[in-house]
Amino acid sequence: MMSFKDYDPGHTVQWCPGCGDMGLLHSMRLAFDNMKLPKEKAVVVSGIGCSGKIPHYIHTYGVETIHGRALPVATGVHLANPDLKVYVNMGDGDCYGIGMGHFIHAMRRNLDMVALVHNNMIYGLTKGQTSPTSAEGVKTKSTPHGSIDQPVNPIALALTSGATFIARGFAGDAIHLAELIQKATEHKGFALIDVYQPCVTYNPSHSYGFFQQNTYNLQKTEGYDTGNFQSALSKAFEKDKLPIGIIYQTHKHTYIDWLKQEHEGVPLVDVDISNIDVEDLLDEHC
């Protein structure tokens, strides 16, 4: 039987003291422990950035890919072996910036995986430039006179791109975030959890205290229907108080439901390739 400590590989965490990534890491381990998820049944994929370190700190299968390309790699893992639970960790710049195209296509295909976006509204690893989710007017090293860009709205983008599970969490509430990760895992289809993750070094205005005062748990709102698309879209644009929790959930066919190897019941990882000779192909192209 798995326990919480079994998901800790024992490596020294190399994030700034107080980094919100620590809360997110704790939430993932806690969710895995709650589900008693076997280590060999989970794959943690990441891109480049502060969030990119997370596969090193969770004792499961893991791979750190390149900036903006975590989702294509995760797609390959999932399609080759659908029995694995795939968790894709990306920063707001990693996913909503250079990885935006992959993000949209992964959602419209309804790939069965969990995407956790470490959204601190700043580029942390490269020392404090604006990211796609930085607020208009914010002054940073790259925008000393204030940003003129409108920030990306991840929740609205996910709704209009076809994600079937959309939630928002807060790294300062590890228990609630772990519950969201578990529910996202149990969901069949593409699950986005946009996580408010304070960067204590480069974005002090969005601190733990800020999110504690300016967020509310949507599941405690009487009568809120997570299956209502229009209600979810309205919540995506709320600014005075920011909702966390499950914003939208629906069910439809996943991408792999339609793939031939899935219909035949043989995932790619189990296909016999011992009799395949690629020598002629290599000679022709190499």
Task: For 178-206, write each residue's pLDDT tens digit.
Answer: 999 999 999 999 999 999 999 999 999 99
CA-based nearest residue to 69, from 40, 106, 118, 41: 106
Residue 51 DSSP one-character state: G
Low-confidence ranges of the chain (pLDDT < 70): 1, 260-263
The candidate with the shortest Cα–Cα distance to 22, out of 120, 129, 115, 97, is 120
Q: Is 279 helix (H, G, I), strand (E, B) or coil?
A: helix
Phi-psi region of 272 (alpha: psi -120 to 50; beta: other; left: phi over 0): beta
Q: Delineate the domains of the chain, giving CATH numbers in brackets.
A: 4-285 (3.40.50.970)
Q: Is 245 exposed, middle or buried (0-12, 13-18, 19+ CB in 10 A)?
A: buried
Q: What is the dihedral of CA 130, 191, 5, 244, to 10 degrees?
A: 60
Tens digits of residue pLDDT in 127-168: 889 999 999 999 988 999 999 999 999 999 999 999 999 999
Q: What is the reported pLDDT for 260?
A: 67
Q: Are 261 and 270 in contact (CB under 8 A)?
A: no
CA 86 to chain centre: 10
Sequence-separated (6 or more) residues with CB below 8 Å from residue 87: 28, 42, 43, 44, 45, 113, 114, 116, 181
Q: How far apart are CA 224 and CA 75, in angstroms?
A: 32
28/42 Cα distance (integer angstroms):
11
- pLDDT, residue 267, reads 77
The pLDDT assigned to 186 comes to 98
pLDDT given for residue 6 in this prediction? 87
Looking at residue 60, what is its pLDDT?
96
Residue 229 to residue 226: CA distance in whole angstroms: 8
- Spatial CA neighbour of 92 closest among 170, 22, 152, 24: 152
